[in-house]
Homo-oligomer: A and B are copies of this chain.
Amino acid sequence: MSKSEKKEGTASFHCPIPISDYKSVLLAHGSGGKLTNDLIRKMFVPPFRNEQLENLHDGAILPSLNGRQLTISTDSFVVNPIFFPGGDIGSLSVHGTVNDIAMCGAEPLYLSVGLIIEEGFPMDDLWTIILSMEKAAKEAGVQVVTGDTKVVDRGKCDKIFINTTGIGAVWPEMKIGASEIQAGDKIIVSGDIARHGISIMSVREGLEFETVIETDSASLHGLVNAMRKKGEIHALRDPTRGGVSSALNELAEASGYGIQIDEENLPIREQVRGACELLGLDPLYVANEGKLLAFVNSEDADAVLNAMRADPLGKEAAVIGEVVEDHPGLVVLNSRIGGRRVVDMITGEQLPRIC
C-alpha cells in the first residue's frame, strides 16, 4: 500500500541505510543495540542535527526558558493511510503537536519523537517520513531534541505510529483558556473547514474528484503570533478529531456560556461540501489539521481578523459566530434556510484513525 499512496517526489534523498543492507525494518532495529544505534546515527540524527540529539543521551538538556511559563502537549498519530494528498504521518505529527502548543498561547520550541514501527516496514518509507518531519520541523522553527524507537513484531501494529510531544514557552502577555471566555466574544475560524478528514476519506474510499482534495495540515503558531499582537484573544482551539463541533462544544461546556454560529459564514470549499454530501458527513464533525478557532474580545475582532487575512494560513478567515448568555453549554447553529438546531458533540466514531 505504501508506494502507491506516497506523494510523488517526497523522497528527494536516498535512504542512508542502503537497500542492499536492510530493505525493511527488523525487530533488531528496536533492540537498543547495534542496529538501533545505526538507525539513529544514520537516519534520525542527520536530518534534525542539533547538539542535543548528537549527544545520543536518554534525554535532551535544554536552556532555561528565562522565566517564561512552560507548555507541554502530547499526541500520538495513527493515521491510516500514512501517505495522503498534501502530507503524511510525518508532517502531520509535527503540525499536530506544534498546533496544540500554539493553542495554549505558547511558542513551540522543542519536540520529542517516539516511533513505533512494525517489523518489515520499508526502510525507504521510514526515510520519506523522517524527511517529511524534518521539513515540517524546519518550517515551524522547532527542534527535534530527543526520540525513541520501538519495533514490534509483524501484525502487532499498523505500519508506523508516531508520538510527538512538544515543549513551548508561553507568549508573555497571553492568558487564554475556557475560563477567559466572555459573552459577546466573536468566534473566528482561520479558513475553510473539513479538508483534512475528507482528504483521508477520499484516499480510503478511493474517491476521485476533478482535483485532488489535499489535507490542510499546517503549523499555526505563526498565525497565532500575528493575531496576539492585534487584540485580546480569550481562547484558541484547533478543531481536529471531532471537528469544529466538538471543539465548540468543549468550550461551551467548560466556559458555561452558549455559543451560536451561522452556517452561511462557515467557509467550506465546494468540492469538500460535495464530498461530504456524497459520504453522508456533516462538515462540522470532520477533522481539520491546519485550522484554528479563536474566541476574541468583540472590540478587537476586526483587527484580529485583518491580521489573520494577511497571513497565508488565514486568508479565508471568517467570523462564524459569537458567545451568548443564552443556552449555556450548548452550541446552536443558525442554518442557511433560517432554522436553528443544536450542534451536539459527536458520539460515535465518524472517521477512525484520521490523525
Task: Give the interface of A toward B (CB within 8 A).
Answer: 26-28, 30-37, 55-78, 80, 99-101, 103-106, 110, 112-116, 145-148, 150-153, 155-158, 161, 163, 165-168, 170, 177-178, 237-238, 240-242, 246, 250, 254, 285, 287, 345-350, 352-353
- Contact across chains for A352 and B242 when beta carbons are under 8 A apart: no
- Contact across chains for B349 and A28 when beta carbons are under 8 A apart: yes
- Contact across chains for A163 and B74 when beta carbons are under 8 A apart: yes
- Contact across chains for A55 and B177 when beta carbons are under 8 A apart: yes
Q: Which residues of B contact A61 (CB under 8 A)?
A: 69-71, 104-106, 170
CB distance from A352 to the nearest CB of B (A): 5
Q: Which residues of B contact A246 (CB under 8 A)?
A: 32-33
- For the A-B complex with A36-B241, A58-B104, A78-B116 known, give 15 more contacts whose Cβ atoms are closer than 8 Å: A26-B349, A27-B352, A30-B241, A31-B352, A33-B242, A34-B346, A35-B348, A55-B178, A61-B69, A61-B106, A63-B69, A72-B145, A73-B112, A74-B114, A76-B163
Complex: A26 Cα to B254 Cα, angstroms: 25
Q: Which residues of B contact A26 (CB under 8 A)?
A: 349
Q: Which residues of B contact A112 (CB under 8 A)?
A: 72-74, 165
- Contact across chains for A34 and B345 when beta carbons are under 8 A apart: yes
Name the one of B34, B63, B238 contacting A347, with C-beta atoms under 8 angstroms: B34
Q: Which residues of B contact A34 (CB under 8 A)?
A: 345-347
Q: Which residues of B contact A75 (CB under 8 A)?
A: 114, 148
Complex: A167 Cα to B237 Cα, angstroms: 24
Name the one of B57, B104, B115, B145 contacting A57, with C-beta atoms under 8 angstroms: B104
Q: Which residues of B contact A77 (CB under 8 A)?
A: 150
Q: Which residues of B contact A30 (CB under 8 A)?
A: 241, 349, 352
CB contact under 8 A between A76 and B106, given known A62-B69, A101-B59:
no
Complex: A177 Cα to B55 Cα, angstroms: 8
Q: Which residues of B contact A32 (CB under 8 A)?
A: 240-242, 246, 287, 346
Complex: A249 Cα to B37 Cα, angstroms: 11
- Contact across chains for B158 and A152 when beta carbons are under 8 A apart: yes
Sort A-B residue pairs by CB-CB distance and give the 7 closest, nearest first. Answer: A32-B241, A59-B73, A32-B242, A33-B346, A74-B112, A165-B165, A58-B100
CB distance from A170 to the nearest CB of B (A): 6
CB contact under 8 A between A103 and B27, given known A64-B68, A116-B161:
no
- Contact across chains for B163 and A114 when beta carbons are under 8 A apart: yes
Q: Which residues of B contact A116 (CB under 8 A)?
A: 76, 78, 116, 161
CB contact under 8 A between A70 and B74, given known A37-B345, A345-B33, A347-B28:
no
CB contact under 8 A between A65 and B70, given known A116-B161, A161-B157:
yes
Complex: A141 Cα to B20 Cα, angstroms: 48
Q: Which residues of B contact A60 (CB under 8 A)?
A: 71-73, 104
Among A28, A31, A110, find the residue whose CB has the most chain B CB atoms closer than 10 A.
A31
13 sampled A-B residue pairs with Cβ under 8 A: A26-B349, A27-B352, A31-B352, A32-B240, A32-B287, A33-B246, A37-B345, A61-B106, A73-B146, A75-B114, A76-B163, A163-B165, A167-B167
CB contact under 8 A between A347 and B33, given known A116-B76, A156-B158, A158-B152:
yes
Name the one of B59, B66, B177, B242 contacting A166, with C-beta atoms under 8 angstroms: B59
Q: Which residues of B contact A151 (CB under 8 A)?
A: 349, 352
